[in-house]
Structure 1
């Protein structure tokens, strides 16, 4: 590896400071706090995803000793710093230092790379490290094959990288999809290299615990994700397509999005004078995932961040194009992309923490704030304090037993309640509902409710559902009227916390109490 320039270290440190500011000044999002619950009970796989994100959270929280958002997110921030270094090294390998530097700058300006996966803790966070490492190895294998050099060790490393990538998120399989595309259409020599088959064995060995877990749980992970992407009986969904493309534009930074596709068009026109083989590898690693998601979005609901890894390959393609045309100074388009990133981060922090009240028009007390996406990241600490006060008063007055758990019906907001409420009040959560509503919570009840037990049902107004409330009440003989506790933002009510006190649990014949 070439010596890393000081400006790259400065970039990584500056971005780390920005990410830590975000980490310290926002509550955990619904996905983040749900992955924290993974870390409470380490397994080889979970309902939604493989286990790596749980292991990472365990490490950065010092075996769950540190109960703070920044500690939980530190794994994402650390991963993002490593990714910035990796993408620099990849750009350097493809062309030169300038390409590496431009790649690092564009990566830092991407909202997906620096915030969604680079600050918020998701399976994508560690996945990006192994994804970029796998891309770099694949580029090296392709070059070594062209130069008739040995590739065996590189293939072994690739098997490790792709296996660990899949241990983070199933998307990692697209690294192997790229291998097959390259082998079939670009470099047939791949098929004659024994390292390819050894790499496949290494990957299968690494991901075997995921497979075993799913066998034991009736392949629930693939049943869940399968119904999300299955096109059987699906109808055309034009709004889904618009949301997918719009999300890709925003998540990847509009400047970067259009820059990357201009680079793709240029590559297909054959206008690039350098790195033809490398460009083909990058396209093989990116376009299949992007095109599949765009197709799916026309029929099913997709999430724009699913395509994030693919766009990192196009970022390198853009950097290569810019470095071949630009002088030594950083191109204005990159500076504009960085400024847009800074504007969105600053604006987002201000709105989440200081917007007076709620962004949503809904004013019904039972559904106040419904549709306001900023409430995902705001008001949970205050919710914990409010419930802790109510819980202590109920115990002191003998209205509720100390052991009364909190009943939940959905994984969201169950994980928020676990992190911000139950950890403060020393209560347990108990799941009632269907597996596709509860996800991992379907198996995670730490206590069993017995006949005539008491419990609380707590839900923020922006997530309140009459159906869920009726389901909970149907399991108990008595339910008090809703206690409505307001949560304020900048002096105005942002949402309510709705509390039901339940007594007389009706004993279920189901051994799980579900």
Structure 2
């Protein structure tokens, strides 16, 4: 019992938090940027009121460091600090909502362990995504909601205005923050009733939140409401299928670990207004699970919801421990610790020893960890070849290939040679008809060479560059000097079916 629940829970929680933060910092210095990380760093390199696929906060918070040309290792301290603040906030929140029960310190420490052993949350602690911001803001909103729930008079004006600021920041971080806002409203209505709607302070908080998200509305009005059109289409997905839901639920279990499922145990053993805080988990998770039936939900979208469940999970772990189910708790802890070590180790090793390397020029064996290595060298080589061939841009055939080149080959603009909308089209526009560019192809997402009639008049292979890690070949980049763009793109994966 002393191992998981020592007498000084606060000191042990601090040790866990700083140890994980140090681990995140070390891995952040060793790993290359992911697709999304580079994309959001480019937000910071192109300051704007908002962006095509997300609100602007993820770019705004990185702008000072990007403007100072901070290295990636320093840039990644920001998500590490946000992870630290999120989990420490959960610790403090758990203490607060379960006080004065003498088991509250143990539940708070257990909540820290539950989050520290959730594999996917480590990724969000290394790379800054909008979900990293929304996790921290969700904890702050839980804290402020509990403040207003506890107050017999529904809080002071200052407390309501703090709530408005937090809601505004959440809205600037991700569009799905609207579900968190609904959870806040549900808690307040459940505890205070409809009388809360007659309070001017509530409407002042909402007005402040709406004022803070005005930049998103202004940008969209200037760009044909493109973000909202994209988000609606993205959320709808394709034909709804139950097997997609099953796959999503299983992925969630693997990504966050069964320890968090003990939140159900903790919730059932809670009483009073605290039970309504489950809305912060239940509302977004239920919606994302439903949307997964159309194939449109991604695993990290639910991260803020799981963080909101952590106080209940900590309470559930503690009650199991006190009830004599220590073997079950220890088994789950060991299993999730092994999963975390395996995931982070495979990221660092680029899949070795479980995934074999390959030097194939086109479509090598699948390796999801190869994506984190080789792009910095490819970006530097693209800069050199573009200068050598007197080309003033880089081009790719899919937007997911653009973000790392856009970051590592700065200031060269990146053109995406397809007909779909993307942020890169707003930044660099379409490659003009008759234009020339340096085309880059990556073996793990190789495309047919885009030549006439739906492509360039000519493309000359300049060089093939191998990407390797720890002596293991991972992928290859091919660089082409392409001339005379037709303006009629039809990108086609090299190994795509012919029918």
TM range (shorter): 0.7 to 0.9
Asked if the contact 2:360–2:476 (Cα under 8 Å) also holds between the matched residues in 1, the reply is no
* 2:255 paired residue number: 251
1:488 shift after superposition = 2.7
* 1:142 paired residue number: 149
Asked if the contact 1:152–1:194 (Cα under 8 Å) also holds between the matched residues in 2, the reply is no
Write the deviation string for residues 333-360 of structure 1: whole angstroms up to 9, x where unpaired. Answer: 6655554454334323443325459948
Partner of residue 309 from structure 2, selected from 303, 314, 318: 314
Partner of residue 285 from structure 2, selected from 287, 290, 299: 290
1:54 shift after superposition = 0.6
1:313 shift after superposition = 2.0
* 2:5 paired residue number: none
* 1:98 paired residue number: 106
1:22 shift after superposition = 1.6
* Secondary structure class of the residue paired with 1:443: helix
Q: Distance in 2 between matches of 1:451 and 1:179?
A: 51
* Secondary structure class of the residue paired with 2:67: coil
Write the deviation string for residues 247-279 of structure 1: whole angstroms up to 9, x where unpaired. Answer: 2112212x3243234445xx2xxxx2x443112
Matching of residue 50 in structure 1 with residue 55 in structure 2: yes
Asked if the contact 1:406–1:430 (Cα under 8 Å) also holds between the matched residues in 2, the reply is yes
Greater mean deviation of Cα atoms: 130-139 or 213-222? 213-222
Asked if the contact 1:357–1:489 (Cα under 8 Å) also holds between the matched residues in 2, the reply is no
Question: What are the ranges of 5 or more consecutive residues in structure 2 without an aligned counterpart?
Answer: 1-7, 99-103, 489-499
* Secondary structure class of the residue paired with 1:27: coil
* Secondary structure class of the residue paired with 1:305: helix
Matching of residue 428 in structure 1 with residue 413 in structure 2: yes
Asked if the contact 1:33–1:415 (Cα under 8 Å) also holds between the matched residues in 2, the reply is yes
Asked if the contact 2:264–2:316 (Cα under 8 Å) also holds between the matched residues in 1, the reply is no
Q: Distance in 2 between matches of 1:343 and 1:490?
A: 23
Write the deviation string for residues 88-121 of structure 1: whole angstroms up to 9, x where unpaired. Answer: 11111111333322222222222233x1322211
How many residues matched?
474
Partner of residue 118 from structure 2, selected from 92, 105, 110: 110
Write the deviation string for residues 307-351 of structure 1: whole angstroms up to 9, x where unpaired. Answer: 111112221112223345645999666655554454334323443
Asked if the contact 2:135–2:303 (Cα under 8 Å) also holds between the matched residues in 1, the reply is no
Partner of residue 404 from structure 2, selected from 410, 413, 416: 416
Cα 1:332–1:21 change in 2 (3 A) is farther
Q: Distance in 1 between matches of 2:218 and 2:260?
A: 39
Give the alignment of 1:16-415 within 5 angstroms: 16-59=21-64, 61=65, 63-66=67-70, 68-95=71-98, 96-113=104-121, 115-145=122-152, 148=153, 150-188=155-193, 189-230=195-236, 234-253=238-257, 255-264=258-267, 267=268, 272=269, 274-280=270-276, 282-324=277-319, 326=321, 339-352=334-347, 353=349, 355=351, 359=355, 365-369=361-365, 371-384=366-379, 386-387=381-382, 395=388, 400-401=389-390, 403-415=391-403
The two structures, once aligned, show a CA RMSD in angstroms of 3.2
Asked if the contact 1:357–1:492 (Cα under 8 Å) also holds between the matched residues in 2, the reply is no
Partner of residue 460 from structure 1, selected from 442, 464, 470: 442
* 2:425 paired residue number: 442
Asked if the contact 1:406–1:457 (Cα under 8 Å) also holds between the matched residues in 2, the reply is yes
Partner of residue 467 from structure 2, selected from 478, 481, 487: 487
Cα 1:337–1:390 change in 2 (3 A) is farther
Question: What are the ranges of 5 or more consecutive residues in structure 1 without an aligned counterpart?
Answer: 509-514
TM-score, scaled to structure 1: 0.83
Q: Distance in 1 between matches of 2:236 and 2:120?
A: 26
Asked if the contact 2:395–2:440 (Cα under 8 Å) also holds between the matched residues in 1, the reply is yes
Greater mean deviation of Cα atoms: 338-347 or 124-133? 338-347
* Secondary structure class of the residue paired with 1:28: coil
Cα 1:357–1:441 change in 2 (3 A) is farther
1:384 shift after superposition = 3.7
1:404 shift after superposition = 3.6
Cα 1:116–1:175 change in 2 (3 A) is same
Asked if the contact 1:473–1:479 (Cα under 8 Å) also holds between the matched residues in 2, the reply is no
Q: Distance in 2 between matches of 1:463 and 1:227?
A: 24
Greater mean deviation of Cα atoms: 211-220 or 34-43? 211-220
1:499 shift after superposition = 1.9
Q: Distance in 1 between matches of 2:199 and 2:235?
A: 34
Write the deviation string for residues 150-172 of structure 1: whole angstroms up to 9, x where unpaired. Answer: 44322211111111011111122
* 1:511 paired residue number: none
Cα 1:344–1:22 change in 2 (3 A) is farther
Q: Distance in 2 between matches of 1:330 and 1:28?
A: 41
Cα 1:215–1:475 change in 2 (3 A) is same
Q: Distance in 2 between matches of 1:358 and 1:419?
A: 30
Write the deviation string for residues 16-47 of structure 1: whole angstroms up to 9, x where unpaired. Answer: 11111221121111111111111111111111
Cα 1:230–1:428 change in 2 (3 A) is closer
Greater mean deviation of Cα atoms: 134-143 or 193-202? 193-202
1:7 shift after superposition = 2.9
* Secondary structure class of the residue paired with 1:247: helix
Write the deviation string for residues 187-207 of structure 1: whole angstroms up to 9, x where unpaired. Answer: 304223332211111111111
Q: Distance in 1 between matches of 2:178 and 2:342?
A: 36
Cα 1:243–1:64 change in 2 (3 A) is farther
